Amino acid sequence: MTISLIAALTKNGVIGKNNDLPWHLPDDMKYFMQTTKTHHVIMGRKNYESIPEKFRPLPNRINIVVTRQRDFPAAGCIVVNTIEDGVALARDAGENELFIIGGSEIYALGMSFANKLYLTEIDSTLEGDTYFPPFNKGEWNELSRKHHEADTRHVYPFDFVVYKKK
């Protein structure tokens, strides 16, 4: 099973601010939805709570929420207490590609399992309070890069980049 992290991040590694995204990039949201559709997705409790209620659980996916809270209510989701339990659940279900979708702490825990990264690299430095974990790009091969210019719907230019662990 391929274990992938998928995230959008700025040049300074910001992935969030005040439990929200500090940007509005509709094509990135579309990319996320298309890439993760029909797959298992693992997210942390805070990330789950940051998703607007009308979009919970994320449609057309098996949503797995990792939390230390034993009786955390997450309707339509599978709640586990460790990322290892979430990975095992997806593997036992025959998933071919599991997506770890954040937040920061879950990305940090998931990095040791990951063999693929789908990163939207935003060409900007923004303020935030949540960061993607640092990683050594020398340990990854860039498989693809697709540039997206800034336009009337996207304030910042960005690249969709896929990396595979060496």
Percent of the residues in the chain that have a pLDDT greater than 70, as a whole number: 100
pLDDT, position 133 = 97
In tens, the pLDDT along 27-67 reads 999 999 999 999 999 999 999 999 999 999 999 999 999 99
Radius of gyration for the alpha carbons in the chain, expressed in angstroms and rounded = 15
Instruction: Count structural domains, the chain.
Output: 1
Q: What is the per-residue pLDDT for 140?
A: 98
Give which of 4, 16, 3 is closest to 132, Cα–Cα.
16
Mean pLDDT, rounded, for 8-37: 97
pLDDT at 137: 93
- Domain extent, residue 135, equals 2-165
CA–CA separation, 116 vs 153, rounded Å? Answer: 28
* Mean pLDDT across the chain: 97
How is the beta sheet containing 140-148 ordered, strand by strand? 78-80, 62-66, 40-44, 97-100, 2-10, 116-122, 158-165, 140-148
Query: Which CATH number characterizes residue 9's domain?
Result: 3.40.430.10
pLDDT attached to residue 103: 95
